[in-house]
Structure 1
Amino acid sequence: MKKTDINISREAFNDLLKKDYKRAFEILFRLYYDKLYHLAGAYTEDPEDAREIVQDVFCKLWQKREDIHRITSSFLYTITRNACLDYLKHRKVVLEQSRDIYDRELSDPVKFVQNEAASEILQQELEHKIRQSIAALPDKQRQVFVKSRFEGMKNREIAEDMGISKRTVDTHIHLAIKFMRFQLREFMTLF
């Protein structure tokens, strides 16, 4: 059946609706799909979304076919318009939620670190600050700290290597860590 072959009165259609809903639905689809698609397209400004809305309208009509006794063009336009308005409301809510999430991501410094480029910059700044802080340690403290944290030596080994007591090594490491924490306090909140 071609689109041009459809010529049915409202009364004949409503009679057909009672007798053979499948045939009536096919006629309805052929008569109104393009009109409803253009209506939905005017609301959504997106052909794919318009197609989806009209398909949903026809699916809902089919699902509720037992309860529908009369279908008019104004009824079809109204449910399509309402479906478009629902779509637009939903899209607005989704956009607002996306905007809220984006704003939260930017305001949270931990999330900022997860951004790869920002993370790399932050890492470079942290490394620079660590080198500065280590350089600012008193000479013996710096030597003990470097041997402990970067060379992986145990406190007893450091004591033997430097000719000092293990207790002195412990004290140097404790004071160095305390100093480093103070120097790196602005980075501590990120980790």
Structure 2
Amino acid sequence: MRKRILDINNQNFINLLKEGDIEAHELLYRLYYERLLYVANSYLNNKEDSEEIINDVFVKLWKRKNKLSIKSSLNAYLYRMTKNFCLDHLRKHKKRLSKTDNTLQLEAFVHFEALSDTASTKFIEEELGQQIQLAIAALPEKCREVFTKSKVQGLRYKEISEELDISIKTVENHMSKALKHMRLYLREYMPFL
């Protein structure tokens, strides 16, 4: 159950990005900004340039949202984009680099292991997943049931009303209450909710 709500590599989440869901994009930014900044800085050895690169990565992701074609995982896709942006940046500025800078960056290329770092991704996803599960568990029973059917199982309000033998208006009320609760419960983890 937790996986369907949280898995950012899930096709449903990727579809939200493609549809221009600003909240999905902001969540991705919050989850990946620091790690991608670390990746960029290991290539560039310049914090300002690295920050600019990461912002460019997310801007390009937003601009090309309709054309997203993610064949592996979203994690790998973002790291690959960051790496490519860094390499492009280095090519453009190659003439300005001193021999010492080139040596440091070459060492970073050779010793860099963060591109395959799925452990930190899993940790963040698990932590956020636990908080989401706690928030869901704290909902009143009927509210939790309606929320789960809507957000986890992907049922429409009409289907939920038929399945639970309640009116669509009651489903809407339960969802409104559940979403308000989730926003309050998760506000420190996802302040944009």
Q: TM-score range by the shorter chain?
A: 0.3 to 0.5
The answer to which structure, 1 or 2, has the higher relative contact order (CA under 8 A, 6+ apart) is 2
Could you state the TM-score of these two structures normalised by the residue count of structure 2? 0.42
Larger gyration radius, structure 1 or structure 2: 1
